[in-house]
Chains A and B, each alone.
Chain A
């Protein structure tokens, strides 16, 4: 097994880390983080099924495509809940509508369900990245927390920001390198694996640092 494949497998199952964290710390999690934990568990199920399909030589892209919109909507809901003030909430609502519209266009008109939805991942990644930056703006403006390392949403947002910004080019150019030889294609996909592992580590820290009234 090459290091590229190793990264890929570790990435696939790295979501177990934040799930374990939420099981350990479940009692002190508030409703938003509990919902987030459930989302992580569903992600784990999706990753397991997709890994099984890949090993069996079957197509799994449609599952990723279906799940991508769920992922974005969960993130948007999470930020909608933590944003204070109507303006930020309205921006999140607008982003949700834009992402859903682009997703439907991508699925029904542009790429279809069985091709990688580059448009959805690019627009979704961008809107999510902007949303996390808006959350950071709220943190700076509010100055409510003495130490950001104790704020779960800080870690979760950092994870989401790294992943969404880091993969935006990767997803956007998917159609360009999908035709490359498998060895090259897999190598470049390592970026996704590494960022996914990083994201899940940051999610784990966020879930484990949870204190009451600190979101």
Chain B
């Protein structure tokens, strides 16, 4: 009887211990496996993000190269040809002289128009060229771009600067400038804005670029739901470009007050990182 009782107790204790060891092993395995799996997942995610960033960087670089080539072509070929046309018009004016008043008047008008085209072309080549933006700086480039938009009469633009301007990484300046160009385009094409203000706030470590318009605005919720675009390249693209330069883009928009886009970009020490800085 005593043996049978002790057998039962032994059986219960041994089986329970075995089961508990098994449970301990399962829990330990889960703990270790989950930790490794999570680490692996994060690595894959990071690699994917890095890859996307590299792709976007290459895309931006390629785009800038194309724009540079276009600017050079316009400046060197089209610009030269227009200068020749202008010279010929001057020659023609001298040949006609004062004998034909009406013809002289038309020639003068043509000279003015050709000069206008040459000026516009120069202005376009400046803002297309990466070198110009890098050499003249963000503020100067924006000034030219805003004046160009002002001349179209579609939009009245203003540029405000706070803090003491300083030079920083040329690549960051180009990204900020291209985004501003895109926002100007959006303000005219989609927002139907009448006024637009660009504000540059220089602080020692960062630059805050704010672009505010008084256009139609939109619901941010709808945009995010649709993963939608503000224009051709889209809000997401802009955010990604800002992310690449280590900045943050925030957006406020409502149908009553228009749209405000604020980009905070780091500028501290960036001059040292880039050998092509101006």
What is the interface of chain A, defined by CB distance below 8 A to chain B? 133, 136, 139-140, 143, 145-148, 158, 161-162, 165-170, 173, 176-177, 180, 184, 187-188, 191
12 A-B pairs with C-beta separation under 8 A: A133-B26, A136-B30, A139-B34, A140-B33, A143-B37, A165-B23, A167-B16, A169-B11, A170-B16, A177-B12, A188-B9, A188-B12
A169-B19 contact given A148-B35, A177-B12, A188-B9, CB 8 Å threshold: yes
Majority SS at the chain A contact face: helix
A170 touching B33 by the CB < 8 A rule?
A: no
Q: B13 to chain A: which residues have CB within 8 Å?
A: 188, 191
Bound CA–CA A49/B16 (angstroms): 29
For B, the interface residue count at a CB cutoff of 8 angstroms equals 23
Q: A173 to chain B: which residues have CB within 8 Å?
A: 8, 11-12
Known: A140-B37, A145-B34. 4 other contacts (CB 8 A): A140-B33, A146-B42, A158-B27, A166-B19
B31 touching A148 by the CB < 8 A rule?
A: yes
Q: B38 to chain A: which residues have CB within 8 Å?
A: 143, 145-146
Q: Kindly report which residue of chain A lies nearest to residue B40, judged by CB atoms.
A: A143
Closest CB in chain B relative to A212 CB, distance in Å: 19
B5 touching A184 by the CB < 8 A rule?
A: yes
Closest CB in chain A relative to B235 CB, distance in Å: 26
Bound CA–CA A176/B15 (angstroms): 15
Q: A146 to chain B: which residues have CB within 8 Å?
A: 38, 42
Closest CB in chain B relative to A172 CB, distance in Å: 9
- Tell me the total A-B contact number using a CB cutoff of 8 A: 66
B11, B13, B34, B38 interface centre (most CB from chain A within 10 Å): B34
B12 touching A169 by the CB < 8 A rule?
A: yes
Q: Kindly report which residue of chain B lies nearest to residue A202, judged by CB atoms.
A: B27
B30 touching A170 by the CB < 8 A rule?
A: no
A165 touching B34 by the CB < 8 A rule?
A: no
The residue from A148, A162, A169 contacting B23, defined by CB atoms under 8 A apart: A162
A180-B5 contact given A133-B26, A140-B37, A143-B41, CB 8 Å threshold: yes
Closest CB in chain B relative to A215 CB, distance in Å: 15
Closest CB in chain A relative to B249 CB, distance in Å: 25
A166-B35 contact given A133-B26, A158-B27, A184-B9, CB 8 Å threshold: no
Bound CA–CA A168/B26 (angstroms): 17
A166 touching B41 by the CB < 8 A rule?
A: no
Q: Which of B3-61 contact A (CB under 8 A)?
A: 5, 8-9, 11-13, 15-16, 19-20, 22-23, 26-27, 30-31, 33-35, 37-38, 41-42
